[in-house]
Amino acid sequence: MGQRICIMGISGSGKSTLASQLGRKLKIPVYHLDRELLHGNFQKHSAEKQQALHAQLVSGENWVIDGDYRNLLPERLKRATVIIFINTSRPTAIKRILQRYLTGNHVRASIPEAAKNTLSWQLIWWTARYSRRQRLAALRETLKQKPQIKLLVLGEGTIEDWVTQVTKK
């Protein structure tokens, strides 16, 4: 049986970095939804094109996918074996977003090729309003209907700690 891992959480939580590390360790493809479903400088493809691109990604036997895209989550859950929710606080996430902008230290493979490292007040506003408790509760409720999917909730920690938690048998 394949490994199909979804990584979710607030912007700035470490989803892309964790996805890259897990993919490397497990030797499976990594897909960053922002990279795959957006183009240019973070412009959205049409809903139809996003659905088609997403369907192609989740059709594989093994993958790590980072990103939320709630409208596409039901399709991802049909194939996922593990959901990882990174439970990072808003202040920590906003701090990381600001650091990422100021240092230019963004996982380039996780964003559209033509995207620029800019600070979006829309992103800061969305992050400041994100309720991890509500999102995690909704995710847990959804997964009650899918007992075959394992949910891992990761708290504050290093990427190395997270990779160890996820990959231990």
Domain that includes residue 126, residue range? 4-167
Per residue in 29-39, pLDDT (tens digit) is: 999 999 999 88
CB-based contacts of 30, cutoff 8 Å, min separation 6 = 19, 20, 22, 23, 63, 64, 65, 66, 109
Provide the domain count of the chain. Answer: 1
The pTM assigned to this predicted structure is: 0.90
CA dist 132 to 20, 43, 121, Å? 23, 25, 20
What pLDDT, on the 0 to 100 scale, is given for residue 61? 95
Per-residue confidence at 160, pLDDT binned at 50, 70, 90? confident
Q: What's the pLDDT score for residue 169?
A: 57
Question: Which CATH number fits the domain that encloses residue 132?
Answer: 3.40.50.300
In contact, 158 and 21? CB cutoff 8 Å: no
Residues 66-119: tens digit of each pLDDT: 998 999 999 999 999 999 999 999 999 899 888 888 876 665 677 777 777 677
Residue in 155, 92, 90, 157 with CA at minimum distance from that of residue 127: 90
